[in-house]
Amino acid sequence: MPSFNKRVLLFNDQFNYLSSGGHWRTINLAEGLSYLKYDVWLATPHLKFHVKELKKINVSNLIQKYNNNILIHLVNAVLPFRYALKKTKYKFVYLQLPMPITKGLCEFIFKFKFTPTVLDFGDLWGYKSYESIFATLHEAIASIIVKNATIVTAASNELANYLKRLSKRNVYVLNNSVDCINVFNPALYPFDREKFGIPKEKLVIIYSGTISKSKGVHNIVRVAKNIPKDLLKELLFFIVGDGPYLNEMKINVKKLGLSNSFYFTGFVPREEIPKYLKLANLGIVSPSPIRGGLIKLAEYMAMGIIPIVPPNSWPTEHIKNGTNGLVARIEEYPVILDKFYNNKEQIYKMSKEARTYAIDNFDIRKVAEKLIEYLSKNGY
């Protein structure tokens, strides 16, 4: 039986194997720790299981059946008390929950057993976009909780610095991660553009993710509309995914006579996404003011796709503009696409740089090692 010195518990409000965001941040970290020979367990407020059982779990049992209700989140923060009461010991417990107060309550529970905790704030989407009264309350609670936590991590330097200012304590940056060796590895997949009727010589610009206006996807149609026709016929916008804006987007593309420049896949299972990414040259990272996009950035770069990221976004922390990716406003896309069309040498060079950066910074093993390093620095 594995020693508790290698047994760890990673906690989230839910684990939907078809989802992304914070859930995938936790899942990928779990798999990275597993590669490092840790005995990794995942838990929700209602269920605990070994990381190796994740794909066997009935997803319908893990998905929340309610809206984003504060009271429900608070209840979910208290339910883990039963895990703390059990005799099972853990080297540490990792908490990735949706609200600072739920993280704090959950950590307080495990302090009864003197178990080190990692409070991970992840992306903390919209942390600056609350109405003023909620922003004040949010910051006051976060400040108290972060001050008293064992280890605190965040997905970006900007968020880490925000939490540092609130709490006057150290906050570590823990990158989002993907498996750059066994999953998001371009060498594992065929360059099968013919299957989709895509000519090999086309410059393919992919957007993979939720098709919604909140992600700025509607701006891609605006970009295509403003591209000169001679250039547009050499490009293909490859839209991978489903979402509330998908049907409207298809209608707008057709109305504008842009159908030959777009390819829509609809919903794609998570495990199939790398096969689609393999076909692309450039990848659009959510062209919207909403913070996030870090997992998508990691997926693109791991597959050797040159990412295009908006200025002042968290992904820019990882981009050397013109070397391993591009930082550009949506209005600058036509100039960029004109520059890259038929420039195979530059595409190859930047693609290689992007993949190298991903392996060094986003691979699940490297990120897991970084977390263990942070714990070791603090005596755990």
- The pLDDT assigned to 22 comes to 58
Please tell me if the domain spanning 7-177+363-377 has the same topology as the one spanning 186-361. yes
- List of residues 6+ apart from 79 with CB closer than 8 A: 45, 46
> Above 70 in pLDDT, residue 75?
no
Residue 63 has pLDDT above 60, yes or no: no
Q: pLDDT of 312-360, one tens digit each?
A: 889 999 999 999 999 999 999 999 999 998 898 999 999 999 999 999 9
Q: What is the CATH number of domain 7-177+363-377?
A: 3.40.50.2000
pLDDT tens digit sequence for 138-147: 677 777 778 7
* pLDDT tops 80 at residue 68: no
Separation between Cα atoms, residue 190 and residue 113, nearest integer Å: 50
User: Could you give the angle at the alpha carbon of 309 between the alpha carbons of 305 and 314, nearest 5°?
Assistant: 115
Question: pLDDT value at position 329?
Answer: 92
The one-letter code for the residue type at 207 is Y
Encode pLDDT of 81-120 as tens digits: 777 778 888 999 998 876 666 666 677 777 777 888 898 9
β-bridge mates for residue 41, sequence order: 9, 50
In this prediction, residue 208 carries a pLDDT of 95
Structure tokens at 334: 């036509």
pLDDT band for position 66 (cuts 50, 70, 90) = very low
Tell me the pairing of strands 235-240 and 262-266: parallel
58, 146, 230, 254, 289 from 359: Cα distances, Å: 32, 30, 37, 39, 27
**Residues 82, 316: Cα–Cα separation, whole Å:** 41
The model's pLDDT over 230-245, given as tens digits with 9 standing for 90+, comes to 999 999 999 999 999 9
pLDDT (tens digit per residue) in 121-140: 887 654 554 444 555 666 77
* 84 touches 106 (CB < 8 A): no
Q: Which of 332, 335, 293 lies closest to 315 in space, CA to CA? A: 293
Residue of 154 and 45 predicted with greater confidence: 154
- Which of 51-55, 97-101, 217-221, 281-285 has the least mean pLDDT? 97-101
Q: Which residue has the higher pLDDT, 60 or 370?
A: 370
Which of 41-45, 74-78, 181-185, 209-213 has maximum average pLDDT?
Answer: 181-185
Q: Check residue 99 and give its pLDDT.
A: 62
Q: What CATH number was assigned to the domain covering residues 186-361? A: 3.40.50.2000
pLDDT, position 131: 47
Residue 43: pLDDT over 80: yes
- Cα first-last separation, the chain: 21
Mean pLDDT across 196-211: 93
Write down the pLDDT at residue 127.
52
Q: Are 148 and 47 in contact (CB under 8 A)?
A: no
Q: Which tokens go with 150?
A: 């064992």
pLDDT at 35 over 90: yes
Q: What is the pLDDT of residue 17?
A: 46
Q: What is the pLDDT of residues 255-274, one digit of tens each?
A: 999 999 999 999 998 889 99
Strand partners, 39: 7
Distance CA 358, CA 375 (A): 23
Q: Say which residue the tokens 């190298």 belong to.
A: 356
DSSP state, residue 363: B
Tell how far CA 41 is from the center of its chain: 21
User: Which pLDDT score is estimated for 81?
Assistant: 72
Whether the predicted pLDDT of 3 surpasses 80: no
Domain ranges for the chain: 7-177+363-377, 186-361
Q: Residue 173 in 3-state DSSP?
A: strand
Conformation bin of residue 21: beta by default, left when phi > 0, alpha when psi is -120 to 50:
left
Task: Give percent of the chain above pLDDT 90.
Answer: 57
